[in-house]
């Protein structure tokens, strides 16, 4: 067990290190940030001076070394735009993003699994076919367009829900949560629903496909031969077996959720990391972009690790190796 943990941690570190190299290299090609830091009427000397202060005159390898050293110390530099430590900016906005993603995730799971089980158990029924067509539509929807449609119909035309912003929050366990206030709740619904569409559709399809495969297995027939009710066959015998591919896909989907959250935040002006990223890209705010990417990479290795651990809980045949 310990050796497994050590191995995983080592792998995680390697991945993060590789990511840092890639991020640094790409960022070095995005033009000279010196111009962002100096006033518009700076002289050549002042610019050269600034460049030296920023360490941009040194060879790339050295720059990378400094970069790495700083990161390990938690220093991601200061945002060019906000003049605040970049890491702090991301951390401030993280709870908003996480909350939206979690709500979207929960919605997706609550709907996808029962619908998928039904569609997989009775694939020939008209309702099942309808569900599948709907799920196909779900993965064909452009995420940004859905958000816009929802805003237009519910916020502009009928004025039921707000079109942007986060609304009130309540502090619980040191974190500000929107879902705990009615106003906050109204603000979070549309973004979360927009976000959950594609994940919902994909999870539904995976659940259905998994169900159809599992239902063909011998142990299902054996369970029926014992006299088990169809419902217990579905939810006790079949579902657990289906969870394995579902958990895999879900882990991957979490990544896509975080990715699409950027777009959703942009549309709804939701004050999370994603909106910060988009704004930073527009304004060429390098440090913030770097922090965001490293943070997301970090989030990912954690998610992957958690998914692997969850496997062993579901399937006794799988051991941590």
Identify the H or E element spanning 171: strand 170-172
Of 47-55, 109-117, 176-184, 292-300, which part binds other proteins (CB under 8 A)?
Answer: 292-300
Site for other proteins in 147-166 (CB under 8 A): 148-149, 151-152, 156, 163
- The minimum distance between CB 44 and other proteins, in angstroms, equals 26
Does residue 202 belong to the site contacting other proteins (CB under 8 A)?
A: no
**Tokens 């590789």 -> residue:** 18
Name the residue nearer to other proteins (CB basis): 19 or 161.
19
Site string for other proteins, 11-50 (x = CB under 8 A): ----x--xx---x--xx-xx--------------------
Structure tokens at 176: 């500000």
Structure tokens at 191: 């973004």
Q: Are 263 and 253 in contact (CB under 8 A)?
A: no
Q: Are 120 and 208 in contact (CB under 8 A)?
A: yes
Q: Are 103 and 179 in contact (CB under 8 A)?
A: yes
DSSP string, 163-213: SSS----EEETTEEESTTSHHHHHHHHHHHHHHHHHHHHHHHHHHHHHHHH
Does residue 252 belong to the site contacting other proteins (CB under 8 A)?
A: yes
Among 258, 273, 276, 291, binds other proteins (CB under 8 A): 258
Among 142, 175, 182, 269, binds other proteins (CB under 8 A): 142
Q: Kindly give the pairing relationship between strand 170-172 and strand 175-177.
A: antiparallel
- The minimum distance between CB 219 and other proteins, in angstroms, equals 4
* C-alpha span between 276 and 270 (Å, rounded): 10
**Of 23, 27, 206, residue with least CA distance to 112:** 206
Does residue 207 belong to the site contacting other proteins (CB under 8 A)?
A: no
Q: Which residues bind other proteins (CB under 8 A)?
A: 15, 18-19, 23, 26-27, 29-30, 129, 132-133, 136-137, 139-145, 148-149, 151-152, 156, 163, 212, 217-219, 221-230, 237, 240-241, 252, 255-260, 262-263, 266-267, 277-278, 281-282, 289, 293, 296-297, 300-301, 303-304, 314-317
């Amino acid at each position: 067990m310990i050796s497994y943990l050590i191995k995983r941690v080592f792998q995680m570190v390697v991945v993060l290190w590789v990511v840092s190299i890639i991020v640094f290299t790409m960022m070095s090609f995005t033009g000279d940030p010196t111009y962002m830091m100096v006033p518009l009427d700076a002289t050549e000397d002042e610019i050269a001076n600034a460049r030296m202060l920023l360490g941009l005159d040194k060879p790339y390898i050295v720059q990378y070394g400094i970069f790495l050293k700083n990161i390990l110390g938690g220093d991601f530099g200061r945002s060019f735009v906000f003049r605040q430590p970049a890491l702090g900016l991301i951390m401030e906005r993280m709870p908003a993003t996480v909350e939206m993603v979690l709500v979207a995730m929960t919605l997706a799971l609550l709907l996808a699994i029962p619908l998928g089980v039904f569609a997989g158990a009775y694939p020939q029924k008209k309702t099942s076919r309808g569900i599948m067509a709907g799920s196909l539509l779900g993965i064909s929807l452009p995420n940004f367009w859905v958000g816009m449609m929802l805003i237009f119909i519910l916020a502009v035309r009928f004025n039921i829900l707000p079109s942007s912003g986060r609304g009130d929050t309540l502090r619980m366990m040191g974190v500000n949560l929107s879902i705990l206030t009615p106003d906050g709740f109204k603000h979070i619904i549309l973004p979360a629903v927009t976000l959950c569409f594609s994940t919902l559709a994909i999870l539904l399809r995976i659940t259905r496909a998994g169900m159809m495969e599992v239902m063909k297995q011998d142990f299902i027939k054996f369970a029926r031969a014992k006299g088990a009710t169809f419902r217990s066959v579905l939810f006790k015998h079949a579902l657990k077996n289906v969870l394995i591919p579902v958990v895999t896909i879900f882990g991957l989907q979490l990544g896509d959720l975080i990715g699409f959250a950027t777009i959703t935040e942009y549309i709804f002006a939701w004050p999370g990391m994603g909106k910060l990223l988009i704004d930073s890209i527009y304004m060429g705010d390098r440090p913030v972009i770097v922090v965001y990417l490293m943070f997301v990479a970090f989030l990912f290795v954690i998610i992957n690790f958690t998914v692997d651990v969850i496997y062993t809980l579901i399937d006794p045949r799988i051991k941590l190796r």
